[in-house]
Amino acid sequence: MLFRNVFIAIFIGAALVVAALLVNHQRPTIEVQQPSAEFVRASGKCAECHLRETAAVVHQYSLSRHASVNMNCIDCHRPVEGQQGIEHRGFTIAKSLTAANCRQCHPTEYDQFVRSRHGAPAWAAVTGAEDFTEEQIAAAEKYHPGAVKRGANQLALLEGPGAREKGCMACHNIGKPNPDGTIGTCTQCHARHQTSVALARSPQTCGQCHMGPDHSQLEIFNESKHGVLFAAGRDQMNLHARPKELTTDDMSVPTCATCHMSGLEGMNVTHDTTERLSYWLFAAVSDKRPTYEQGRNKMQELCLKCHTRPSIDRFYAEAETVVETTNQKVIKAKELMDKLYAENLLTKESFDEPIEFVYFDLWHYYGRTAKHGAFMGGADFVQWHGNYELLAKQIELEHMAAELRAAKHE
Ligand code: HEC
Ligand code: HEC
Ligand code: HEC
Ligand code: HEC
Ligand code: HEC
Ligand code: HEC
Ligand code: HEC
Ligand code: HEC
């Protein structure tokens, strides 16, 4: 009898423990893993509530380097000069955060960033100069003449609101001026709370904007030997390595960030993505940049961490040939168009006649794609998405021009 009672007691006890475990398992993990007192202190009380309100935010923050150096939520969220503060549960926080909040602690990165085309030129490419102050225009024009002092983009106006905001601006807002006087946002590449260099080194991060037929950088990278090796070997790489200590041991193949920004093996980390470039490849006809020599040397210094001089010289010579031959093809098409305008066979307005779209596609899609493909290892983009289309569109232009002339003489 006694034996039976003990057995029942043990059985009930065990069942209760199992039940308790099960119930506990059902509870959201945020309630199980209460933050340590130290973490709550470090996050300035905010995390106490936000673990219930927006647990994901606190979790993302806890993964960041900021959390490991004991930064506070309020360090970012407090209003800085020029920002409007709002009362929030006993704290004053900024109504919205911008690059100004990051600049307080990272002035060098900010200065490099605003000097690049990710700064004012990116926004001006859509809206023109109207949203910038005189000082901002002068500062940007010093590095990128004509890139900010220009009119609003015609195509965006034709497509109208909606398309302009959710399309053009959603990528070009990387350089949008903020009410507090700063320009742009840092979180497009780092995210708000993870503020991660690993994220910024992922090709998909740049590919949010650098993709599609007019700037197929992500697609080109994916096709390149670098992209293929990166995808296959990603798990073995240390994408979290500190930028100033990054070696080819951490990343044996480059991503977008490595070539355009990283401080690989003693090189300077740069947030000026213009620094390592030698041509204006996005232009219809690509000229050398005034900083051609410097840009090419800096990029080649990077290639030479992993390749030999002869192979890089060969690579650049071939890519430059693609720039030259593409320029010739675009100039030929442009001369055809100029003649049609001179003969009054076309109106002065852009994008109101079919042939203008064919010409635009010719340089804006296929010309650019051929040049980008040549410099980043995308053979298919140099050929089938590039030169083949350049040829086909040229023939189409010639036929359309002949038809316009024939129609005039009828
Ligand atoms: C007493 C609980 C509590 C505390 C403490 C608290 N928050 Fe909140 N917070 C909330 C709630 C609830 C929301 C959801 C929106 C609302 O009701 O205001 C919120 C919303 C927010 C938002 C979004 C505001 C918006 O307009 O979308 C931010 C940013 C924020 N909190 C940051 C902070 C920061 C930073 C701290 C610490 C300085 C903090 N919170 C402290 C409860 C709290
Ligand atoms: C590195 C700077 C930084 C730190 C540290 C930081 N935040 Fe934020 N947080 C941001 C930025 C940037 C935004 C976007 C704000 C905006 O668009 O105006 C944001 C947005 C938010 C939002 C709104 C999220 C949404 O999608 O609606 C909440 C809530 C928030 N933060 C809470 C916190 C809490 C809680 C902490 C601390 C655990 C914290 N933040 C730490 C930079 C930071
Ligand atoms: C209160 C000062 C402060 C603010 C505000 C701040 N940071 Fe930091 N940040 C730091 C410190 C300190 C480190 C660690 C530096 C180190 O260890 O060398 C850091 C590191 C970083 C790193 C490197 C992370 C890594 O994994 O190595 C990035 C990226 C970064 N911050 C981005 C941002 C962004 C983006 C913002 C604004 C949304 C911001 N920071 C706001 C102080 C700040
Ligand atoms: C998917 C993101 C994305 C969208 C949407 C987008 N762009 Fe861009 N745009 C870019 C990127 C990335 C570049 C840089 C290309 C390069 O340098 O090779 C660029 C380059 C440009 C340039 C050439 C650079 C310059 O400063 O003159 C202009 C002009 C431009 N975009 C205007 C627009 C307009 C207008 C729209 C909408 C009709 C638009 N873009 C939509 C991402 C985008
Ligand atoms: C939010 C969208 C966005 C993201 C994310 C983005 N870019 Fe850009 N990028 C742009 C736009 C828009 C331009 C074109 C600016 C202009 O010339 O008007 C541009 C231009 C560039 C240029 C050409 C600069 C020049 O002088 O012509 C390089 C190189 C570049 N980006 C590299 C990168 C790399 C590398 C990453 C990722 C680490 C990245 N971008 C992430 C939008 C973006
Ligand atoms: C175009 C994408 C992009 C943008 C926009 C961007 N970053 Fe970065 N950032 C990176 C990359 C990539 C790295 C890592 C570089 C490397 O691999 O060496 C980095 C590294 C950093 C670091 C660590 C630097 C070091 O030497 O340890 C800080 C701090 C930082 N960024 C802050 C910022 C701030 C502040 C802004 C806004 C003014 C910003 N970033 C905007 C891509 C970006
Ligand atoms: C192996 C190094 C390497 C990698 C990886 C790489 N690029 Fe490039 N990129 C280059 C070189 C070289 C050029 C041509 C530079 C010049 O003008 O001298 C270039 C040109 C560009 C341009 C053209 C700027 C213009 O003038 O129109 C953009 C934008 C760009 N890259 C973005 C990216 C993005 C986004 C990725 C990843 C999806 C990427 N790159 C991957 C080396 C690289
Ligand atoms: C971090 C190291 C690293 C950097 C930096 C780097 N590459 Fe590479 N690259 C590689 C690796 C690894 C391969 C694959 C080699 C193999 O097939 O084993 C490769 C392959 C190539 C290939 C195809 C194979 C070949 O040799 O024909 C070309 C072309 C190339 N890289 C050009 C460049 C150029 C140009 C730059 C600079 C803009 C550059 N790489 C920067 C690591 C790098």
Residue 28 has pLDDT above 70, yes or no: no
Q: Is the pLDDT of residue 54 over 60?
A: yes
- Measured distance CA(84)–CA(319) in Å, rounded: 50
Distance 383 CA to ligand 3 centre (A): 43
- Residue 299 and residue 291 in contact, taking contact as beta carbons nearer than 8 Å: no
Tell whether ligand 6 has an atom less than 6 A from the beta carbon of residue 118.
yes
pLDDT score of 34 more than 50 = no
Ligand 4 pocket test, candidate residues 127, 155, 176, 215, most atoms within 8 A of CB = 215
Contacts of 133 (CB under 8 A, 6+ apart): 177, 181
Check pocket membership of 243 for ligand 6, CB cut-off 6 A: yes
105 Cα to the center of ligand 2, angstroms: 16
CA angle 128, 131, 133 (to 5 degrees): 110
Q: Residues 6 or more apart from 175 whose CB is under 8 A from it?
A: 117, 118, 119, 120, 121, 122, 123, 124, 183, 184
- pLDDT for 70: 82
Torsion of CA 139, 141, 144, 145, to 10 degrees: -160
Whether 66 has a pLDDT exceeding 60, the answer reads yes
Q: Which ligand 1 atom is at minimum distance from the Cα of 77? A: 35
pLDDT number for residue 91: 84
| Average confidence (pLDDT) over 168-182 | 98
- Amino acid of residue 90: G
Residue nearest to atom 1 of ligand 8 (CA): 253
- HSE, side-chain direction, 13 A CA sphere, residue 125: 18
271 Cα: distance to centroid of ligand 3 (angstroms) = 14
Does residue 262 have its Cβ closer than 6 Å to ligand 2? no
Whole-angstrom Cα distance, residue 131 to residue 142? 18
Q: How many Cα atoms sit within 13 Å of 23 on the Cβ side?
A: 6
Q: What is the tens place of the pLDDT at every residue in 205-234?
A: 999 999 999 999 999 999 999 999 999 999
- What is d(CA 311, CA 300) in angstroms, rounded to the nearest whole number? 11
Point out the ligand 5 atom lying closest to the alpha carbon of residue 125. 18
pLDDT of 89 strictly over 90: no
**Which pair of tokens denotes residue 181?**
């006087």
55-65: buried (b, 16+ CB within 10 Å) or exposed (e) per residue?
A: bebbbbbbebe
Distance CA 78, CA 34 (A): 25
Q: Which residues line ligand 7 (CB under 6 A)?
A: 203, 206-207, 210, 217-218, 221, 226, 254-256, 259-260, 277-282, 295-296, 299, 375-376
Of 168, 149, 194, the C-alpha closest to 58 is 194
Q: By alpha-carbon position, which residue is closest to atom 28 of ligand 2?
A: 57
